[in-house]
A and B are shown apart, each in its own frame.
Chain A
Amino acid sequence: MFRTARTALTALAALSIAFAAHAQEPFEVDGMQFGMPEAEVFTEPYDGPPVVGPGLSMAPFLSPLEHEGTTTHEVRIDTFAADIEIAPGVRFASWSYGGAVPGPVLHVREGDRVIFTMKNRSDETVVVADPEQEGSDFLTQLAEFNPQSVQEAVAPMPHSMDFHSGTVAANDKWRTIAPGESIRFEWVANYPGTYIYHCGTPMVLMHTAMGQYGLVVVSPKDGFPTDAQVDREYVVVQSEFYLTRGGNGGFQFDAQAAMNKNPSHVVFNGHRNALSDRPLEADVGDRVRIHFLNVGPSDTSTFHVIGAIFDVVYYEGDPRNDMYAMQSVLVGAGMGAVVEFIVPEAGEYYLVDHEFADKEKGAVGVLRAE
């Protein structure tokens, strides 16, 4: 009886798909590819590593591109709650991509295709920071460094994934999925850049402030003009947290502060001390490249390195957007930049948001040169 019922449902569902599908024939403009297959929402028993695929690292690291030309990446980043520390003594149950905030850095090349899978595991506990766990460099690095002292948490919640690096119909690809559901969709990195990805589920301010964001680096297909001179390459992600003391000894989201754009913490790479406990390293004379993303969710960043001048800035990470001799670069919420500077002498170089209230709230890091 139940088999019959299921069949009837399936037949009706198939009929519905025939009417509902917005099948888009692929087309090209100037070599860029548009028209992706329809997103697929499904359930799967998957309980494996939450971050799987090549080119996935934990900031400040950037995975090198191993391929020539363009390729297709199969990438999984699951979303689930994770109890994290974002400043000494300040822990909260974040909503994460992959178990840390920010989520994994994804590195692809202009023209690459990404087949992306995400399971909403927000109502289960997911193990991260396990040295035995394989799946991506991100998980290995998280287990080794774990600047946020990640612990398991549960917070069932619908979520979604919006890659700014993709050009697609958002109501299809970026759609919200329930706890226990998975989504799979494709996008092509048509433009080089330094792109945010984030959850787009209402209240989007809360979902991003709770930690659902990360960085996609789309390297230009012909490279940057300065590629040959670069000695060090790092990733710095700035983001705001809006926390207040909760009733159970920890911290929790402060909705009023978020609406008032009054963050309690503004940090680089997810922790006030992430780049102080473990400074970026360089040698005197090095040309250092930083892929910088300002997540926001609501505030700008005037990114500056004390004692250095940006020899070149590729605004939004596109080599055509070159600017020179910049003391700082102003980066809006959900924007990025590639900056390069020369290390003039041995010493410590502080990375700051030159909007000093944000710096005092934690937006500071160190590059140490010997």
Chain B
Amino acid sequence: MTARTLRSARPRSDRSRPTRTALGALAATILATFASSAFAQEAASAPGATDRIAIPGGTFETVLVLDAAEVAVAPFALAATPVTNAAFLAFVEARPNWGRDAVPSVFANAGYLAHWAGTTELGSAPAAAPDLPVTHVSWYAAASYCDWVGGRLPTEYEWEYVAGAGARRDVAQAVAQFAWYSSPEASVRPVGQGAPNPFGVHDLHGLVLEWVHDFETVLPGEDDGTPFGLGCGAAARLTTGNDLADQVALMRHVVRMNFVAERGSSRLGFRCAFDAPGNGE
């Protein structure tokens, strides 16, 4: 049985942050400065640049009361699978300043690619297998990788639109999603296995959490002192109902808001999105 689990992750830079927009803009500027000298368009040959799935635009029902009832998503393309260790290794080889020994700590902290044997060597650790999803990557590194292949991280709504396809109110799937959260270790396996979802995208459920682009733009953090903080008592206000589908959706939002941008995690990977719909170069 394959646990099918909705999950996505949204980065948070620092608890003591200035306004989101200010920091988001600043971070984006820093990132662009850091990466721009390295940009040559190698997307055509880069691993991860292929197997893009064209996603038609549409609308979907959001899970949060404070959001509008329906959210529109414009057409885009999404990678069929998360980025693998092998693909990310190619990126690091091509862009040595994203090697773990070279990257500034503001973009990736000490745990960055710590499961690899060396800066440009995957080694034999189980999590470093070439066809497994790359983990222990910071939001900045993930964003830079996607830039390198001519894309970007998907937005939260794009990710959820695709990941939730046909399953938003499916309680049976919600139960399965809880199962992934309660035992994510069971999910470690190569990307691309199992049946694709209705859009033809793999591994949106049951493999790893994934970074998305949005920089604290959707849901306020409880450290902001807003009434929508995700504490014990406040959470019930955020869901539209009391069924399991709502509960698991809420969990995704909690997870989404709680990763630190310069720090990866052992079950946190990413995939890239592309503005122009298409099926590869």
Contact = CB atoms under 8 A, between A and B. Distances in A.
Interface in A158-212: 158, 160, 162, 170-171, 174-181, 200-204, 206, 210
A55 B267 CA distance: 35
Nearest to B232: A200
B26 to A, nearest CB: 7
Nearest to A22: B225
A17 B16 contact: yes
Interface string B10-36: 001111111100110010001001100
Contacts of A1: 33-34
A247 interface: yes
A181 B1 CA distance: 33
B231 A200 contact: yes
A176 B111 contact: no
A23 interface: no
A120 to B, nearest CB: 9
A20 B221 CA distance: 13
Interface in B259-281: 259-260, 263, 265-268
Contacts of A210: 182
B182 A176 contact: no
Contact of A178 (B23, B186, B260): B260
**Range of interface residues on A (Cβ < 8 Å):** 35 or more
B250 interface: yes
A168 to B, nearest CB: 12
Nearest to A249: B186
Contacts, number: 166
B42 interface: no
A97 B24 CA distance: 34
A246 B230 contact: no
Nearest to A16: B18
A179 to B, nearest CB: 5
Contacts of A250: 183
A5 B232 contact: no
B8 interface: no
B184 interface: yes
A248 B183 contact: yes
Contact of B232 (A12, A158, A204): A204
Interface in A37-80: 41, 43, 45
Nearest to B19: A16
Contacts of A181: 260
B232 A255 contact: no
Given A1-B33, A171-B222, A252 B182 contact: yes
Contact of A156 (B19, B23, B209, B233): B209
B256 to A, nearest CB: 10
A10 to B, nearest CB: 9
**Range of interface residues on B (Cβ < 8 Å):** 35 or more
Given A154-B184, A155-B183, A174-B232, A13 B18 contact: yes
A2 interface: yes
B19 to A, nearest CB: 8
Contact of A202 (B34, B104, B235): B235
Max chain B C-beta neighbours (<10 A), residue from A17, A20, A171: A171
A175 B186 contact: no
A15 B18 contact: yes
Given A171-B222, A202-B232, A246-B183, A12 B26 contact: yes
B72 interface: no
A41 B222 CA distance: 13
B182 A41 contact: no
B67 interface: no
B109 A43 contact: yes
Max chain B C-beta neighbours (<10 A), residue from A45, A179, A246: A179
B190 interface: no
A123 B183 contact: no
B254 interface: yes
B174 interface: yes
A252 B14 contact: no
A9 interface: yes
A325 interface: no
A179 B106 contact: no
Interface in A239-265: 246-248, 250, 252-256, 259
A17 B17 CA distance: 8
A156 B268 contact: yes
A190 to B, nearest CB: 21
A34 to B, nearest CB: 19
Nearest to A41: B15
A13 to B, nearest CB: 4
Interface in B228-263: 229-233, 235, 244, 247-248, 250-251, 254-255, 257-260, 263
B110 interface: yes
A169 to B, nearest CB: 9
A176 B219 CA distance: 14
A93 interface: yes
Contacts of A252: 179, 182-183
A345 B111 CA distance: 59
B247 A203 contact: yes
Contact of A176 (B18, B23, B258, B267): B258
A160 B248 CA distance: 18
Interface of B: 1-3, 12-19, 22-23, 26, 30, 33-34, 104, 106-107, 109-111, 174-175, 178-179, 181-186, 209, 222-225, 229-233, 235, 244, 247-248, 250-251, 254-255, 257-260, 263, 265-268
15 contacts: A2-B34, A41-B15, A43-B260, A123-B265, A155-B181, A156-B267, A158-B257, A171-B222, A177-B258, A178-B260, A200-B231, A246-B183, A252-B183, A253-B182, A256-B244
Given A9-B13, A177-B258, A247-B3, 20 more contacts: A2-B106, A5-B26, A6-B106, A13-B16, A22-B225, A43-B109, A154-B267, A160-B231, A170-B231, A170-B233, A176-B230, A181-B260, A203-B235, A204-B232, A206-B178, A206-B251, A247-B179, A248-B183, A255-B175, A255-B178
